[in-house]
Amino acid sequence: MSRPKTGSEPDPWRVPVIVAQIPDTGLHRELVASAAERQAIAEVAGLREVLSVRAEFDVVPKSGSRLQVTGSVRARIGQTCVVTLDPIESEIDEEVDLVFAPEAEARRLADLIEEGRDGEEPPAVADPPEAIMGGIIDLGRLATDALFLAIDPYPRKEGAVFEAEVTAPDPEDHPFAALKALQDNKKDQ
């Protein structure tokens, strides 16, 4: 299976939310990827197919212009068994819990956490918040990223076991066999 592509490819599933339009009470979004979006996700992830993708998110404003996004991503994907090469389907159910912050604050907190890792004292926060880029958070990209992280890179059909062919080594086949043959030829002369 190939790994998810990186670089300048466009996001296969985009659902932008304008931060300024999120009410103080927060918002709830249920997303379902279209057939074209599922095909694009499969191509980017190197999957045989993506049969379904659903995401459900709650976006809640927090202090300091931060947002907390919680929810889940559920998908059914088609892969190829690494042992039998048979087509298989896998279920994905991934929980999401992320904090977003304005870009400058997210960068500043990331720098502080890195500095804390170099010193003796552990950082107060394990991961920096995600950056809010251009006043928008993209729930489609968030769902796609969660899906990509949950994909098993070595899927196996149930009950499939890799059994390496074991052969007994030939006693005459060793690294010094050629030297021994030369030595035996020398003795015969």
pLDDT in tens, 17-66: 999 999 999 999 999 999 999 999 999 999 999 999 999 999 999 988 89
**Sequence-ordered alpha helix ranges (H) in the chain:** 35-45, 103-118, 139-150, 177-188
This prediction's pTM: 0.73
Which 8-state DSSP code applies to residue 131?
E
Cβ atoms of residues 90 and 156 within 8 Å:
no
The string of pLDDT tens digits covering residues 61-87 is 998 889 999 999 999 999 999 889 999
The full length of the chain comes to 189
